[in-house]
Structure 1
Amino acid sequence: MSVKLFRVLAASAVIALASCSQMQKEHKANIQQQTGTAYFDWFKYQGHDDVFNHTLADDEFQNPVISGFYPDPSITRKGKDYYIATSSFAYNNGLPIFHSRDLVNWALIGHGLTRDEQIELSGIDISSGIYAPTIRYHDGLFYIITTAVYSGGNFIITAEDPAGPWSQPILLPEVGGIDPDIFFDDDGRIYIAHNDAPPGKPLYDGHRAIWLWEYDPIAQQVKPESRKLLVDGGTDISKKPIWIEAPHIYKVNGWYYLVCAEGGTGYNHSAVVFRTRDLSEPFIPYHANPILTQRDLDIERVNPITTAGHADLIKTPQGEWWAVFLATRSYNKTLYNTGRETFLLPVDWTNEGWPEILPPGETIPYRLKKPAGGEKIANTEQTTGNFSWLDEFESEQLDLHWSWLGRHNNTNWLTLNNGFAQLKAAKRQLSSLEQPVYLARRVQHQTYQASTQVLLPQYSGLQLGITAYQNEKFHYFFALEKTDTAYRLFVESVVKGQRRMLASVDLDSGGDAIELIVSADKDKISFSYRQSEAIKPVLTNADATILSTAKAGGFVGSMLGLHARKF
């Protein structure tokens, strides 16, 4: 066992003792269990990343500003208030929306997609669903335009309050591809830019294009005759650039700027920029592209930030420009379990009026000077650094940080009552595309400890516990079940869709509850439990790299979930 994992497990003992008091509550001690239902008393998460173990100066902030699986950030401003929307893929609720007044302290305030009648996400793999959004505020209304892959294509939703509720989708069947942008010109005209197939036959794998339509807000559709090619292939098609996508248009000092992602959302990711004086004229690429990347740095560097790109720009009331973008914090060169995260950097316009986010060869800093002005909002959360998070399920409303798969409506299997999250088990595996009974929270650290306390089930045929989950084909399940004589704990893995039992421990029937603990340190993950004060291992230093995007594939980060199933 690594020294760091030992410290994490030891820390969990202190957390466990503090949490023990929860079981003393009379309404919990006397709970009447229902057959086939799992009872989760509380869930605790604690980050332990070494890179965050630094004291920030008063005028500094920490990157990433929103850690964990919050990719493809888009930002808008209404007065002094900033709002970010990110991708959510197959997870509900969809389109997380964050609020800030200083660009560095954020709070999750709601979601754009909260109802099945908006978008149906059942039966799709975890990396399908809601791709990169654009959020904009215009003339008293907030707009999000995004793509539901395999679930309806590109669409627009609107809201007066970004916390919601958001409208029914306005479908855009003529607009193909992904990553749409909505741009409100100062002459009152509205445009939609997006990634799609190039004109004619693609010249090479990854050959894509950026297209533009004019949008009619009265008819709520694009003007069919307005389609126009903006970028074919990328900054220089002779070099066969790949996956030009994520367009955002801005008008600054009489120029129209087009910022796009290029190079794919992996190690060669980047942000590039083009400009033109008129939307009827060609966009010219910046001679010093890319304006953001980390692909030109030493792959062996310590604590690397990689895959940087997919940027959106914002101007502050003080006149500064900043960019939000996705990047990853990697280990073992190119592995990351935390998904693509939201970072923040200033934008420099001094090079002949072109925006630059980071000069070539420079590393993205973990800590730098805050934006000027702004104020910390009252309900700010800690979305970066080493923090702890606890849900004791005392509210009748599910915390916004919980996610699940399948239909938005989860009331047929989830109940918050008597201080428990009560999960009604079903015969659906985590590897199924049918909705599993699975309540999940994002992993936001490379090194972390998570624990949950569950009631010992009074009935057999039920397996309940905590899952470390990347996707349907790559995950762990640390579970408790009632046997003929007492109880059993086990750890199973699913790798490339193949399920395997890794370890098991038989327990006595003493007590009413048990704490299940998951501890991870980059490429290692361990599973332990506590029935009294002592923590006992079940499986130590298992392979956590199966939870990395590089091995599991797709576009999401790993999650920690509460799961219950029948057998």
Structure 2
Amino acid sequence: MSTLFNPLINGFHPDPSVVAVDGVYYLATSTFEYLPGIPIHRSTDFETWELIGHVATRPGQLAVEQVPTAGGAWAPTIRHRDGVFHLVISDAMGRGMLHFTAADAAGPWSDGDLILKADGSGSLDGIDPDIAWDADGTVYITFSGMILSGEHAGAHLGIQQVKVDLATHRALEEPRSLWSGTGGGFPEAPHLYEVDGRWYLMIAEGGTERGHGVSIARGDGPEGPFETAPHNPLVTARGTTRPVQNTGHGDLVIGPDGDWLCVLLGVRPRSMTRAFSALGRESFVTPVRWGADGWPEIDPVQLNPRPGTRTDIGFAADTPLDGEWIAVRALPTDHADLAARPGWLVLHADGTTLDDPRPVFVGRRQEHLTNAVTVRIDVSAGVGGLAVRYDEHFHIELEAGAGEVVARAAIAGLVQEWRTPLDGDVVDLHLESRRPVSDGVFTRTSDMFHLAATIGGERRELAEIDGRFLSSEVAESFTGRVIGVYAVDGDIAVLRWVAEGHDE
């Protein structure tokens, strides 16, 4: 019997989609403005998941270099047919709606073909595409009709569908409206399934915040008409005190024990009113049962975190960075120089800072609610340091160089700094996220950041910063916390990265 850990994938991994191929499971998630884009995790037992690659690993596959914050790779659907993996996704405010293919889910993936309107005038207007085939091989792209550009930007046309010729990637008809839920806001994330001769259309509605939920309808064919399930929403945490909130955006699969499962996104908020989700939207899983009436029932998501982890990373010129490293609107290899100083990761500043949309920054997702990262850096030739980032408006950093160490909180244009002198060039920087100390009645935040530096063998505590300001609800970001190293002047060199954390 498989143990269902929750989160299924820790840290910023929203909008999960899963496919089973010969007893192996492949799961894809959104990455927005980060690269490499669209990680693919693999498992044989739904317990242990391995990151095996990414869809977008080359320039041009996603046009995220200039997308606004929260744009980029939105909501993939991964499927497999006739020996080929298919992935459809919206490159929001970038290229548009795309179709990628690969013989191996680990990659390499294709450059991505734009899914065109019937008149060929450009990408279909919409997000969160799903791909499905009927018995005769007809391809259906079902999507959420949210318009992101032009004079009608912001309009929402509900759940729509077109038949598509994958040889030309052109729609064969104008979009038609399908079932758009039970009246909740932002009907999105449609997935279409044929189960025992019936077609089921599962969607998310209620928005990806506290009102989020999963609803379903069914019909005799992929085009409907669709009958609404009598017990929608199938799963939601709205109005509850459950530790996992915002549950929605689900995808169905038969699990390794032969039982059905639903992967979906959720958050783990803390505080008196469960108000602040430090890690953003993560991937979760929950059991599904089919009733005698032919309708699925989905269990509420149960929190079951994995044991804590420790990651100790050194660097070598002949060993590429592992796939967990990501960068903002750039590939990590655009910034991380492993050859300039063997045994060190060198970053070359280019005049940007963390206030800029494309900083010289490479990082890894914060995976645990209680988390500590230490880096040893040499700032003899520049200025830079260690930071936790939500976006260019919300970040906390420890910056060394020019004779001092500066702890800095940059929160929506408000900046506060704490300083200590730096003697020498090599310093250990410590960024820790700790559970807040309760006053015995109420806890009013998600966590507390503790920023410190070890200089000449002496640890100096610089600042304590309320973690709520780097939460999903405050930053209102679709991503999550990413902790990384950065450079703002000259060159900095990083010798070692150590991260450890747990979810107790």
Which TM-score applies when normalising by structure 2?
Answer: 0.88
Q: How far, CA to CA, are the matches of 1:451 and 1:351 in structure 2?
A: 55
Counterpart for residue 389 of structure 1? 311
Counterpart for residue 150 of structure 2? none
C-alpha deviation, 1:211, in angstroms: 0.7
2:130–2:190 Cα contact (<8 Å) kept: yes
- Deviation digits for residues 450-494 of structure 1 (CA, Å, limit 9, x no counterpart): 111112x334xx321101111110111111012xxxx21001121
Q: How far, CA to CA, are the matches of 1:77 and 1:274 in structure 2?
A: 23
Matching of residue 313 in structure 1 with residue 229 in structure 2: no
Amino acid at match of 1:422: V
Counterpart for residue 159 of structure 2? 210
SS at match of 1:133: strand
Q: How far, CA to CA, are the matches of 1:279 and 1:412 in structure 2?
A: 46
Counterpart for residue 187 of structure 1? 136
C-alpha deviation, 1:209, in angstroms: 0.6
Mapping for residues 171-320 of structure 1, pairs under 5 Å: 171-174=114-117, 175-197=124-146, 208-225=157-174, 227-232=175-180, 234-235=181-182, 237=183, 241-298=184-241, 304-316=243-255, 318-320=257-259
- Deviation digits for residues 258-277 of structure 1 (CA, Å, limit 9, x no counterpart): 11000000011001101001
List alignment gaps of at least 5 residues for structure 2.
118-123, 148-153, 435-445, 491-504
Amino acid at match of 1:310: H
Q: How far, CA to CA, are the matches of 1:277 and 1:432 in structure 2?
A: 51
Matching of residue 170 in structure 1 with residue 113 in structure 2: yes
Q: How far, CA to CA, are the matches of 2:206 and 2:315 in structure 1?
A: 43
- Deviation digits for residues 381-423 of structure 1 (CA, Å, limit 9, x no counterpart): xx94311112212353111000001233744663355111110
Q: Which has the larger radius of gyration?
A: 1
C-alpha change, 1:61 and 1:161, in structure 2 (3 Å) is same
Counterpart for residue 490 of structure 1? 406
Structure 2 residue corresponding to 1:443, chosen from 361, 366, 378? 366
- Deviation digits for residues 351-406 of structure 1 (CA, Å, limit 9, x no counterpart): 51111112xxxx52224xxxxxxxxxxxxxxx943111122123531110000012
SS at match of 1:102: coil
C-alpha change, 1:312 and 1:438, in structure 2 (3 Å) is same
Q: How far, CA to CA, are the matches of 2:178 and 2:126 in structure 1?
A: 14
Counterpart for residue 326 of structure 2? 403
Structure 1 residue corresponding to 2:461, chosen from 533, 537, 546? 537
SS at match of 1:545: helix
Counterpart for residue 518 of structure 1? 431
Counterpart for residue 11 of structure 1? none
Amino acid at match of 2:398: F
Mapping for residues 41-60 of structure 1, pairs under 5 Å: 60=3
Amino acid at match of 1:565: V
Counterpart for residue 72 of structure 2? 129
SS at match of 1:76: strand
C-alpha change, 1:170 and 1:384, in structure 2 (3 Å) is farther
- Deviation digits for residues 141-200 of structure 1 (CA, Å, limit 9, x no counterpart): 0011000111111010100011111001110132211000001223221110000059xx
Counterpart for residue 442 of structure 2? none
Matching of residue 420 in structure 1 with residue 344 in structure 2: yes
Greater CA drift, 256-265 or 276-285:
276-285
Q: How far, CA to CA, are the matches of 1:329 and 1:552 in structure 2?
A: 16
Counterpart for residue 452 of structure 1? 375
C-alpha deviation, 1:431, in angstroms: 1.4
C-alpha deviation, 1:440, in angstroms: 1.1
Matching of residue 107 in structure 1 with residue 50 in structure 2: yes
Amino acid at match of 2:33: A
Counterpart for residue 90 of structure 1? 33
C-alpha change, 1:413 and 1:210, in structure 2 (3 Å) is same
Q: How far, CA to CA, are the matches of 1:93 and 1:549 in structure 2?
A: 22
Q: How far, CA to CA, are the matches of 2:485 and 2:76 in structure 1?
A: 28
C-alpha change, 1:411 and 1:197, in structure 2 (3 Å) is closer
SS at match of 1:62: coil
Counterpart for residue 276 of structure 2? 335
- Deviation digits for residues 506-530 of structure 1 (CA, Å, limit 9, x no counterpart): 1322xx6221000112331011122
C-alpha change, 1:59 and 1:95, in structure 2 (3 Å) is closer
Q: How far, CA to CA, are the matches of 1:504 and 1:218 in structure 2?
A: 60
2:33–2:328 Cα contact (<8 Å) kept: yes
1:463–1:564 Cα contact (<8 Å) kept: yes
Amino acid at match of 2:454: R
SS at match of 1:72: coil
Counterpart for residue 297 of structure 2? 356
Q: How far, CA to CA, are the matches of 1:421 and 1:213 in structure 2?
A: 48
Which TM-score applies when normalising by structure 1?
Answer: 0.78
C-alpha deviation, 1:438, in angstroms: 0.2
Counterpart for residue 391 of structure 2? 471
Aligned residues: 463
C-alpha deviation, 1:208, in angstroms: 4.2
1:208–1:243 Cα contact (<8 Å) kept: no
List alignment gaps of at least 5 residues for structure 1.
1-57, 199-204, 368-382
Q: How far, CA to CA, are the matches of 1:349 and 1:366 in structure 2?
A: 23
C-alpha change, 1:253 and 1:437, in structure 2 (3 Å) is same
C-alpha change, 1:63 and 1:317, in structure 2 (3 Å) is closer
Amino acid at match of 1:231: W
C-alpha deviation, 1:215, in angstroms: 1.6
C-alpha change, 1:446 and 1:208, in structure 2 (3 Å) is farther
SS at match of 1:273: strand
SS at match of 1:218: coil
Counterpart for residue 10 of structure 2? 67
Structure 2 residue corresponding to 1:506, chosen from 418, 421, 427? 421
C-alpha change, 1:150 and 1:310, in structure 2 (3 Å) is same
RMSD value over aligned CA atoms? 2.0
Matching of residue 554 in structure 1 with residue 477 in structure 2: yes
Amino acid at match of 1:550: E
2:62–2:73 Cα contact (<8 Å) kept: no
Amino acid at match of 1:530: T
Q: How far, CA to CA, are the matches of 1:401 and 1:437 in structure 2?
A: 17
Aligned-pair identity (%): 31
SS at match of 2:178: strand
1:62–1:385 Cα contact (<8 Å) kept: no
Amino acid at match of 2:260: W
- Deviation digits for residues 510-566 of structure 1 (CA, Å, limit 9, x no counterpart): xx6221000112331011122355432111x21211110111112110110100012
Structure 1 residue corresponding to 2:287, chosen from 346, 350, 356? 346
Q: How far, CA to CA, are the matches of 1:563 and 1:253 in structure 2?
A: 53
- Deviation digits for residues 221-272 of structure 1 (CA, Å, limit 9, x no counterpart): 22135x321124x22x4xxx21000000000011100110000000110011
Q: How far, CA to CA, are the matches of 2:334 and 2:218 in structure 1?
A: 49
2:116–2:169 Cα contact (<8 Å) kept: no
